[in-house]
Structure 1
Amino acid sequence: MILGMDTSSDTMTIALFNEGVVLGEYTTNLKKNHSVRLLPAIAALMEECAVKPTDIEKIAVAKGPGSYTGLRIGVTVAKTMAWDAGIPIVGISSLALLAENGLYFPGKVVALMDARRMNVYAGVYRASDGVMKNIVADSHIALTDLLEQLTAEKEAILFVGTLTEQIRLTVTEVLGERAVFSQADYTYARASSLVKLAENMDGEPADNFVPDYLKLAEAESKWLESRGSE
């Protein structure tokens, strides 16, 4: 039995998975406080699916990148539950999780998350034999630099993520008709994909697990800069 959760963005999604079957999933795509809603949602889903805490054998969580606050909420809950139960935790890239929405697209899939100031968190993926593979490592990058790397492409490229109008406009200006954007119901991550990806992964002890922010928080960056100038 696997419990999965992702709070790395405005989307909060949780799922229960057992022996190849998604028992239940709860997903919202709202700008609300995950810290207030996550634990009650997990409890409600477990009750609905008649799953007890002792039934959980592994916990899967989106490990980043994404919202610093959102990531910390999901990772803290996942680590606490895994540590308390003495079970492993599996971290899945938030971008890899988004890219799963393009599993049946016949070309490159770019998973994007807005990182502000026209920067993005991005990963380039392609499906092979029914498995989505990362072909350009996840990174924090200026959108213009990312698009420059893609201008030589001749095939259509699928962009997956909840994107601002400015990001969409910039992508279209550079790539034209080669840019394809996911439909509304495929713009956000689903925990049902998360638990599926975690099924055959061993995981690690909760004590060792850390999020993958890809970029320091602004306050941390400024602190390091100030220390370097001393």
Structure 2
Amino acid sequence: MSYILNIETATKNCSVSIAKDGETIACNEIADEGYSHAEKLHVFIEEVIASAGITVQDLAAVAVSQGPGSYTGLRIGVSAAKGLCFALDIPLIAVDTLKTLASQANVSSGKIIPMLDARRMEVYSEVFNANLETERSIKAEIIDENSFSEYTETVYFVGDCAEKSKPVLTASNFVFLEEIKYPSAKAMSKISYDKYQKSDTVDVAYFEPYYLKDFMIIPPSKKQ
């Protein structure tokens, strides 16, 4: 019996769950426009542990969202996860934020493309098949009318980019699952447990979040 604490703070959603052998048994989360992660995260950790009827000493590992995403959000989540792992002498598991987001789409075929906002028309994206196998690695890219045109089967988009992407991504095989906006710690449970069983962990001392890039610099236009 393995209890894993899952922490997801890469976006506006501050999300924490407890999983037992890969099944979520307690979760607390809030998507706050004001990014209240610093105030909410440790409270949520205490609450889900109590709700699961366990203590921190029962934890087998801590899993944390590794990014890409908000610089501040990722730092807060990773710092909390490292602190617990150091104190309890348990392993740290890093989970791809975009895979967590993609896993929330319940589809049996086609491609799943999770996208997170990276300012202006830029997004962080990754491409998965319906079995959550990576078909194209993470990129920071500017969305235009030609983006993802190489995919002819149904493409399901998830994430917080629907508002700015839908007017541009208009192909008939593109479907926006707008109800799936942010990654959730609930969706981390199976992923983190699979990693735990394979001893796929990271070095607690040296692990850093995967920021991909902090911001995009756009050079000023030259005067004619």
TM-score range, shorter chain: 0.7 to 0.9
Given that 2:22 and 2:192 are in contact with CA atoms closer than 8 Å, whether structure 1 keeps it comes out as no
Show structure 1 runs of 4+ deviating over 6 A. none
User: 1:217 offset after TM fit, Å?
Assistant: 4.6
Given that 1:11 and 1:189 are in contact with CA atoms closer than 8 Å, whether structure 2 keeps it comes out as yes
Given that 1:34 and 1:70 are in contact with CA atoms closer than 8 Å, whether structure 2 keeps it comes out as yes
- What is residue 227 of structure 1 aligned with on the other side? none
- What is residue 116 of structure 1 aligned with on the other side? 119
1:9 and 2:11 correspond: yes
- TM-score, normalising length from structure 1? 0.85
- Give unpaired runs (5+ residues) of structure 1: 222-230
- What is residue 160 of structure 1 aligned with on the other side? 158
Aligned with residue 173 of structure 2, among 169, 178, 181: 178
- Residues paired across the two proteins, number: 211
Indicate the larger mover: 2-11 or 135-144.
135-144
1:27-53 per-residue CA deviation (whole Å, 9 max, x = no partner) reads: 222223101110011111111222101
Letter of the 2:83 counterpart? T
Change in Cα spacing, 1:86 to 1:25, as seen in structure 2 (3 Å) is: same
- What is residue 64 of structure 1 aligned with on the other side? 67
Structure 2 CA distance for aligned equivalents of residues 21 and 114 of structure 1: 29
1:99-135 per-residue CA deviation (whole Å, 9 max, x = no partner) reads: 102242410111100100211100000023xxx1111
1:141 and 2:141 correspond: yes
Aligned pairs (5 A) from 1:46-61: 46-61=49-64
User: 1:4 offset after TM fit, Å?
Assistant: 0.2
1:188 and 2:182 correspond: yes
For residue 97 of structure 1, give the secondary structure of its aligned residue in structure 2: helix
1:84 and 2:78 correspond: no
Aligned with residue 24 of structure 1, among 23, 26, 34: 26
Letter of the 2:209 counterpart? P
Computed over aligned residues only, the root mean square deviation of the Cα atoms, in angstroms, reads: 1.8
Structure 1 CA distance for aligned equivalents of residues 23 and 153 of structure 2: 35
Q: Which has the higher helix share?
A: 1
User: 1:13 offset after TM fit, Å?
Assistant: 1.1
Indicate the larger mover: 44-53 or 115-124.
44-53
Given that 2:22 and 2:189 are in contact with CA atoms closer than 8 Å, whether structure 1 keeps it comes out as no
- What is residue 211 of structure 2 aligned with on the other side? 213
Indicate the larger mover: 15-24 or 92-101.
15-24
- TM-score, normalising length from structure 2? 0.88
For residue 198 of structure 1, give the secondary structure of its aligned residue in structure 2: helix
Letter of the 1:180 counterpart? V
Structure 2 CA distance for aligned equivalents of residues 121 and 5 of structure 1: 20
Given that 1:157 and 1:180 are in contact with CA atoms closer than 8 Å, whether structure 2 keeps it comes out as yes
For residue 170 of structure 1, give the secondary structure of its aligned residue in structure 2: coil
For residue 189 of structure 2, give the secondary structure of its aligned residue in structure 1: helix
Letter of the 1:137 counterpart? S
1:150-184 per-residue CA deviation (whole Å, 9 max, x = no partner) reads: 21332221001022522221122xx2x21101141
Given that 2:63 and 2:92 are in contact with CA atoms closer than 8 Å, whether structure 1 keeps it comes out as yes
- What is residue 224 of structure 1 aligned with on the other side? none
- Give unpaired runs (5+ residues) of structure 2: 218-224
User: 1:149 offset after TM fit, Å?
Assistant: 4.9
Structure 1 CA distance for aligned equivalents of residues 151 and 130 of structure 2: 17
